[in-house]
Chains A and B, each alone.
Chain A
Amino acid sequence: MANKPRVKLPKSAKAGEIVQIKTLASHDMETGNRKDKKGNKIPRLILNKFSCSFKGEELFGAIMHPSVSANPYIAFSITAKESGTYDFTWTDDNGEVTKVSQDMSVS
């Protein structure tokens, strides 16, 4: 992936608070349906998996198909329980994994 995906997660939260997480990955999400100027099919290349995990446990995940827009945006929410690092990963069709980690302190 050319640019690092962006993740918006509050730096701190109260225990039990519902926190919204917004993610934006930059990717063409080539569907495989498009043709180039010569009429050749452009092969499919999309991010097909997204995952948000905390201490090795998946909290939220998504399976993406070609009908997801370019630069996939995914927003969801979690309940803040304890301080720590949240790991976000995106996997593309070639198996390449992009990882972003962010800390949140819970009081």
Chain B
Amino acid sequence: MSNTNSQLVRMDRRTALKAAGAGFVALGFASAAHATPEAAAEALAKLSGGAAAATSDKITISLPEIAENGATVPVGITVDSPMTAASFVKQIHVFAEGNPSPETITFNLTPTGTADVNTRIRLSKTQNVLVAAVMNDGSVLTNKKEVKVTIGGCGG
């Protein structure tokens, strides 16, 4: 009787382990397939050295409210800066929260022209697009905008 009992327990544990294993695999897959807002926030925190970056309306993001095709979403970023040797935007980072990897594009700027860049990005689903501007003094400004995506653009 005790033998059967222990067998039962063993079976139970095995099943439980299997289930746990399957759960782990499923989780792992999910995180590999899609980044999370946390991953994007983490990447942002790295830029500012862990300090919380200030949300600023100095950054203007022009994105369509609804993107019919996620494969090419036009994005324009303007940062209000004099762009002189004393005060300029050093880098502009673009993160897509819901893409397989949040990093999208990084612009390296020098004190010339205006801090105004345009490009086209892929968005896999409806999500927030985060923009972080690193100034020459090391301060980081951020802003974000939500885009509704009808057809995702990351393939697979």
Interface residues of A (CB under 8 A from B): 18-20, 22, 31, 33-35, 58-70, 72-79
Q: Compute how far the CA of A22 lies from the CA of B113 in the bound complex, rounded to whole angstroms.
A: 13
1/0 per residue, CB under 8 A from A, across B63-90: the answer is: 0000000011100000000010000000
B101 and A67 within 8 A (CB): yes
- With A18-B113, A77-B113, A79-B112 as contacts: A67 and B104 at CB distance below 8 Å: yes
Q: How many pairs of residues, A versus B, come closer than 8 Å at their CB atoms?
A: 96
Cβ contacts under 8 Å, B100 to chain A: 31, 33, 66
B108 and A58 within 8 A (CB): yes
* Number of chain B interface residues as a range: 20 to 34
- With A70-B71, A77-B113, A79-B112 as contacts: A61 and B118 at CB distance below 8 Å: no
Q: Compute how far the CA of A20 lies from the CA of B110 in the bound complex, rounded to whole angstroms.
A: 15
Chain A interface, DSSP helix/strand/loop, else mixed: strand
A73 and B113 within 8 A (CB): no
A77 and B103 within 8 A (CB): no
1/0 per residue, CB under 8 A from A, across B95-137: the answer is: 0100111011111111011101111111100000000000000
